Amino acid sequence: MKLFYSPGACSMAPHIVSREAGINLDLVKVDIPNKKTQGGDDYWKVNFKGYVPALQLDNGEVLTEVGVICQYLADQKPESGLAPKAGTMERYRLMEWLNFVAAEMHKQLGALFNPKYTPEMREVQLGVIGRRLKPLEEKLAGKQYLMGEKFSAADAYAFTILNWCKGLKIDLSPWPNIKAYYERVGKRPKIQETMKAEGLG
């Protein structure tokens, strides 16, 4: 399988899941602005949406969207415990977290990468982000991970998005549970390994 990625982008989440699950992927770096792979191929031909991640299966099929790819990879190695069994309430809880990260964290924080954002627009967006992080802060009280005491595919995604805060100069101190969670998850060997592989550590 091939994972099309850009260093530090949301594609880092399935990259983390693959390493946590012990799945070997061929990594293909993508130049997102120019829609070219590291080999010079037209990325539009891989993913018609034009962004990362994309996972090309051995049969040639391509999966897109972070939450879907994370679940697919986790399901290839159910013994990893990265995704509860399909049909269980725990699986729906995982999906609940993956959707929260996608809709309320990824999209809200990602908006700040827009170079046309004025300081006033940034201030408004930071207010929205603060409101979105409040329930996460509350839910992490007394928990190691989003699902409780066990690391899941949702944690790979949440860590990836929270990692953007460094580049965006967002201080996580107002959310001590989130800050501690981010630091704790970031120490996992497979996450350190992933970041090093992407040239980030």
Spatial distance between the Cα atoms of 38 and 83, rounded to a whole number of angstroms: 31
H-run or E-run covering 185: helix 176-186
The angle subtended at Cα 2 by Cα 190 and Cα 32, nearest 5°, is 90
137 and 49 in a single domain? The answer is no
85-117 pLDDT per residue, tens? 999 999 999 999 999 999 999 999 999 999 999
User: Which of helix, strand or coil describes residue 143?
Assistant: coil
pLDDT greater than 90 at residue 12:
yes
Mean pLDDT, the chain, integer: 97
Average pLDDT, integer, range 111-136? 96
129 and 146 in a single domain? The answer is yes
34 and 74 in a single domain? The answer is yes
CATH number of the domain bearing residue 112 = 1.20.1050.10
pLDDT at 201: 73
Write out the two tokens for 99: 């959707």
The percent helix, strand, coil of the chain (3-state, each to 5) is 55, 10, 35
137-192 pLDDT per residue, tens? 999 999 999 999 999 999 999 999 999 999 999 999 999 999 999 999 999 999 99
147 and 72 in a single domain? The answer is no
Alpha helices by DSSP H, listed for 33-150, are 66-76, 89-100, 107-110, 119-139
